[in-house]
Structure 1
Amino acid sequence: MIKCHLARLMGEHKMKVMDVARETGLNRNTITLLYKETAQRVDLEAMDKLCDLFNCEVQDLFERIN
């Protein structure tokens, strides 16, 4: 299972879904799906934009849990 830490990162940076959408140019629905951990797939460009925004690595955004 893959766990997404977007909600935690957004909380640490005091950002809302609309803030992330505005800063990254990503669709609001894409961010909401990741935030709620209901996304079935993630575009590499979306991952890159989120990592740029939060100044983090992919492993800070996603974690594989056995």
Structure 2
Amino acid sequence: MKCNLSRILGEKRLKVSDVARDTDINRGTITRLYNDTATRVELDVIETLCKYLNVEIGELLEIQD
């Protein structure tokens, strides 16, 4: 699975610290998603990020072969 958070934040000109502050999601969690090193993430975190960034789950996460 690939996380596109770094691309999305770049397009929206947002920083990890902005997202952490605005969403109350742990900065370490966002950093792991940003660096695509997260091994598991709570569904409520994904939901919060999608709503905050105004993206669909498929835009944030994609399955790779």
TM range (shorter): over 0.9
The number of aligned residues is 65
Q: Show structure 1 runs of 4+ deviating over 3 A.
A: none
Structure 1 segments unaligned to the other structure (5+ residues): none
Q: TM-score, with normalisation over the residues of structure 1?
A: 0.95
Q: TM-score, with normalisation over the residues of structure 2?
A: 0.97
Give percent identity, aligned residues only: 48
Structure 2 segments unaligned to the other structure (5+ residues): none
Instruction: Tell me the C-alpha RMSD between the 2 structures.
Output: 0.5
Alignment of 1:58 with 2:62, yes or no, is: no
User: Helix, strand or coil for the counterpart of 1:37?
Assistant: coil
Where does residue 15 of structure 2 map in the other structure? 16
Corresponding letter in the other structure for 1:31: I
Residue 23 of structure 1: how far off its partner (Å): 1.2
